[in-house]
């Protein structure tokens, strides 16, 4: 059973171009197979294909590389090592250390050492098998604990502080300690990493990339080729999924293809087979989280100390921001009067981990929710009651980093508590568990408070380019990328609403660096907020020109002129929009404009660990119910109720899809997606055969999703986002923490809910089985 949001039911009463359920702009093409992804582009007969030789050691010096046999292999056209790269071999997004090809040493199993171009992908891969690399192996470092013990960090640790933590914890009625290990997550996008490079006559190249950050692709390709940035153009029409995995790590494929394209003056495609992709590209970071908390007899927190240690891999990549965001979200929705939250960026001889939907926020939130559950079990209280007592509210509204919250979560949580019938179901579950020996049920209701903005201030900017053609059709380019989330659809709706014209007039072009320069990545859930405002800025510029033209042409007061319903209204007189545009063209009015937007009012002082890193917070809550088989550890998610605040939704259907998809992806991370490495540092979960992502069969049997009705907030001064909408890309993923908490709840029933059994992430059936055993052992010891 699936209940749709009320917003969908009332969509027909809303404006024709925005706040309405309209189909994704590529939906028909995708369903019919007409949507063109990079691997669908017809290949010219002279196209080359790439493959790489991956390191066989996790930590070793390279003593010798033998290439002769590979050079003679059928179909081979070119082979390069690091020495053949014309510019810089470093393709790091921010800090140094990410090499296009390894040089004197290798730092993880699978690191590219040699690249081969051949007439077919199969020929390139066969040639790779002929390359012989001799290593001098060294001892690899593979775990967070090893890195912490050796103080081996990719970047210095950071700490957030507020209040006197040690005194607050010492003087509290109760104290607890705990820790939890959270494994990473493979992005497993449907379209793997891929790039095509086509050389041009000026020594430059045009790169077609499946990337969330075309501007970075452009910059790094230029660096690798040792040419000015203007010699490189990067273009992205659409991606078949990304989830953060194509924010920084897509650039290496583009760089590799570009090097071969320029060397050989031939188009080059580099498409990673799935196993190579899973071996050579980063994941969500593992985190080892530890906490110490003091609280009173009602479960109200007095002081918290947390250490969040991330497994970053061999280089920094985007780990600095990931750990920062984990620290920013270690409070989730709860007020800490005194806190000391430290983040550690641990170096290991594994692939460099990277952005993943939530960008560290989920790992910080799980620590908070585990701690709140532990407090409730220690007191014998309902976890929801403990959560509600600790929510930000009133004058308890300042985060550990000094940002104040203007909006409370309690109304949203209490609405979900009622609509999900939480209290009655809690009683029914207790009664069921008391009489059932094999099957135990669990339920949990958890909130989400997720900050919206890039924590690196300079990334909070966006540009757009807008043309109106003489026939009245509108062409929009912006810096955001489409990865299936409906960004282009929303931008088209924003432009149509801004002008007051039919949506059919608007076309959103492929994202290209020669149309909109220096664009930020499409990430941090800010794609619509940033690019929508930039497009609206361009709309307002052109609309003003059209209104001024109409006022002059028709000798009317500009204040009496408006554009709506695809027509220009001058009093009671209606002039078709295309007629207005044609007249403006004949009158030599410019019908092209750029737009720009930078997020106001944000800033974070990293040295002082204080500031306002986020423009606003996206909020929501989920109540999840599970059934656990104690004999096997297997479980089912039987019901989920979600209430999420999307503001004034730009497109309810797209937002619904984001909420549902984000939740299921988060559930996969927390329950079934287990990344494993062996003692040599070689990844074991490297294919769909040994890595379990959620399927349709894992979707909850009852899945109720609704959008929070914000009418009670009328008159409240919200932040000025695009038509008062809220970001919806990442926050829903963290709603799935309720499933993990519900599994713990089911196991805790074996100890009369007075013990929080240990449960790692992912909570596989094996983990759940041992979690239940621990609760049972505790109960027997107490008796």
Catalytic center residues: 730
Between CA 373 and CA 386 the distance in angstroms is 8
* 267 φ/ψ angles, rounded to the nearest 5 degrees: -65, 145
Indicate the DSSP class of residue 601.
Answer: S
The answer to whether residues 738 and 622 touch, using CB atoms and an 8 Å cutoff, is: yes
User: Per the structure block, which two tokens stand in for 489?
Assistant: 């659809």
Between CA 764 and CA 748 the distance in angstroms is 17
Between CA 455 and CA 7 the distance in angstroms is 31
Between CA 450 and CA 505 the distance in angstroms is 35
Between CA 121 and CA 273 the distance in angstroms is 10
The answer to whether residues 328 and 336 touch, using CB atoms and an 8 Å cutoff, is: no
Between CA 312 and CA 100 the distance in angstroms is 18
Q: What is the DSSP string of 452-467?
A: ES-SSGGGSEEEEEEE
Indicate the DSSP class of residue 319.
Answer: H
Residues with Cβ within 8 Å of 538's Cβ and at least 6 positions away in sequence, in order, are 464, 465, 466, 476, 593, 594, 595
Query: Strands across the sheet with 616-629, in order?
Result: 2-3, 702-707, 635-644, 616-629, 439-452
- Local structure of 212: helix, strand or coil: coil
Strand partners, 52: 115
User: Which residue in 305, 303, 348, 344 sits closest to 322, CA to CA?
Assistant: 344
Between CA 481 and CA 214 the distance in angstroms is 8
* 304 φ/ψ angles, rounded to the nearest 5 degrees: -135, 135
User: Per the structure block, which two tokens stand in for 215?
Assistant: 């501007």
Residues with Cβ within 8 Å of 203's Cβ and at least 6 positions away in sequence, in order, are 227, 231, 262
Residues with Cβ within 8 Å of 559's Cβ and at least 6 positions away in sequence, in order, are none
Q: How many CA atoms, within 13 angstroms, populate the side-chain half-sphere of residue 164?
A: 5
User: Per the structure block, which two tokens stand in for 640?
Assistant: 């989920």
Between CA 646 and CA 625 the distance in angstroms is 24
- Local structure of 181: helix, strand or coil: strand
The answer to whether residues 447 and 387 touch, using CB atoms and an 8 Å cutoff, is: yes
Q: Are strands 439-452 and 339-347 parallel, antiparallel or unpaired?
A: unpaired
User: Which residue in 506, 596, 583 sits closest to 546, CA to CA?
Assistant: 583
User: Per the structure block, which two tokens stand in for 466?
Assistant: 């807008």
Cβ-based burial of 119 (10 A; exposed 0-12, middle 13-18, buried ≥19)? middle
Q: Calculate helix-pair angle for 251-264, 214-225, nearest 10 degrees.
A: 40
The answer to whether residues 645 and 619 touch, using CB atoms and an 8 Å cutoff, is: yes
User: Which residue in 61, 47, 68 sits closest to 113, CA to CA?
Assistant: 61
Specify the residue for token string 């019919």.
32
**Helical spans, DSSP H, in 402-481:** 410-419, 422-435
Q: How many CB atoms lie within 10 A of CB 158?
A: 18
Between CA 577 and CA 583 the distance in angstroms is 10
Q: Calculate helix-pair angle for 652-671, 361-379, nearest 10 degrees.
A: 70
Between CA 327 and CA 291 the distance in angstroms is 12
Between CA 320 and CA 156 the distance in angstroms is 9
């Amino acid at each position: 059973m699936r209940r749709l949001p009320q917003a969908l039911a009332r969509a027909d009463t809303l404006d024709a171009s925005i706040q309405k359920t309209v189909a994704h702009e590529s939906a028909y093409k995708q369903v019919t197979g007409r949507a063109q992804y990079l691997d669908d582009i017809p290949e010219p007969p002279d196209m080359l294909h790439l493959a790489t030789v991956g390191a066989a050691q996790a930590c070793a010096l390279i003593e010798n590389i033998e290439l002769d046999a590979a050079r003679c292999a059928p179909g081979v056209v070119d082979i390069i090592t690091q020495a053949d790269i014309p510019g810089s071999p470093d393709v790091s997004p921010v800090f140094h250390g990410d090499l296009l090809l390894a040089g004197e040493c290798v730092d993880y199993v699978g690191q590219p050492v040699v690249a081969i171009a051949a007439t077919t992908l199969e020929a390139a891969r066969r040639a790779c098998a002929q390359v012989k690399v001799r290593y001098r192996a060294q001892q690899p470092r593979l775990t967070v604990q090893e890195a912490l013990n050796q103080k081996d960090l990719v970047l210095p640790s950071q700490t957030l502080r507020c209040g006197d933590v040690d005194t607050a914890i010492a003087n509290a009625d109760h104290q607890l300690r705990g820790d939890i290990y959270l494994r990473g997550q493979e992005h497993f996008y449907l379209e793997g990493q891929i790039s095509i490079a086509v050389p041009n006559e000026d020594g430059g190249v045009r790169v077609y990339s499946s990337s969330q950050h075309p501007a970075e692709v452009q910059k790094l390709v230029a660096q690798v080729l040792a040419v000015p940035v203007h010699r490189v153009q990067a273009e992205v029409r659409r991606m078949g999924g990304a989830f953060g995995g194509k924010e920084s790590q897509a650039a290496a494929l583009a760089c590799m293809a570009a090097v071969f394209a320029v060397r050989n003056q031939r188009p080059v495609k580099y498409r990673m087979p799935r196993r190579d992709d899973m071996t050579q590209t980063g994941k969500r970071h593992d985190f080892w989280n530890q906490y110490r908390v003091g609280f009173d007899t009602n479960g109200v927190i007095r002081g918290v100390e947390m250490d969040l240690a991330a497994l970053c891999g061999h280089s920094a990549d985007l780990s600095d921001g990931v750990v920062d965001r984990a620290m920013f979200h270690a409070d989730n929705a709860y007020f800490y009067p005194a806190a000391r939250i430290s983040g550690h960026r641990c170096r290991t001889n594994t692939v460099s981990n990277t952005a993943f939907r939530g960008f560290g926020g989920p790992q910080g939130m799980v620590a908070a929710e585990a701690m709140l559950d532990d407090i409730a079990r220690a007191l014998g209280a309902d976890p929801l009651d403990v959560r509600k007592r600790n929510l930000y509210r009133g004058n308890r509204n300042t985060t550990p980093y000094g940002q104040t919250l203007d909006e409370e979560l309690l109304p949203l949580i209490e609405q979900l508590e009622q609509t999900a019938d939480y209290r009655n179901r809690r009683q029914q579950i207790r009664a069921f568990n008391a009489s059932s020996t094999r099957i135990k049920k669990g339920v949990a209701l958890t909130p989400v408070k997720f900050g919206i903005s890039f924590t690196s201030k300079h990334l909070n900017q966006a540009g757009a380019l807008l043309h109106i053609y003489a026939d009245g059709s509108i062409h929009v380019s912006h810096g955001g990328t489409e990865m299936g989330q409906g960004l282009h659809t929303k931008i088209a709706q924003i432009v149509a609403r801004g002008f007051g014209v039919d949506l059919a007039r608007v076309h959103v072009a492929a994202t290209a660096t020669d149309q909109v320069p220096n664009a930020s990545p499409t990430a941090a859930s800010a794609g619509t907020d940033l690019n929508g405002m930039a497009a609206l800025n361009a709309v307002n510029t052109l609309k003003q020109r059209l209104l001024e033209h109409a006022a002059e042409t028709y000798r009317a007061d500009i204040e009496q002129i408006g554009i709506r319903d695809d027509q220009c209204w001058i009093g009671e007189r209606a002039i078709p929009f295309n007629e207005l545009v044609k007249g403006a063209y004949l009158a030599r009015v410019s019908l092209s404009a750029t737009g720009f937007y930078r997020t106001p009012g944000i800033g974070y002082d990293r040295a002082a660990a204080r500031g306002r890193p986020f423009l606003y917070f996206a909020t929501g809550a989920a109540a999840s119910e599970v059934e656990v088989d104690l004999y096997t550890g297997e479980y089912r998610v039987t019901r989920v109720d979600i209430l999420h605040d999307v503001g004034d939704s730009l497109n309810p259907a797209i937002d619904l899809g984001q909420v549902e998809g984000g939740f299921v992806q988060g559930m996969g991370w927390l329950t079934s997606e287990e990344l494993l490495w062996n003692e040599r540092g070689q990844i074991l979960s490297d294919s769909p055969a040994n890595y379990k992502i959620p399927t349709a069969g894992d979707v909850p049997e009852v899945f109720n999703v609704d959008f929070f009705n914000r009418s009670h907030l009328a008159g409240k001064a919200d932040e000025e986002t695009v038509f008062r909408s809220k970001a919806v890309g990442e926050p829903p993923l963290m709603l799935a923490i309720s499933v993990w908490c519900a599994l713990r709840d089911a196991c805790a029933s074996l100890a009369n809910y007075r013990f929080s059994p240990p449960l790692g992430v992912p909570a596989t059936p094996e983990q759940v089985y041992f979690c239940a055993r621990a609760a049972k052992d505790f109960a027997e010891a107490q008796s």
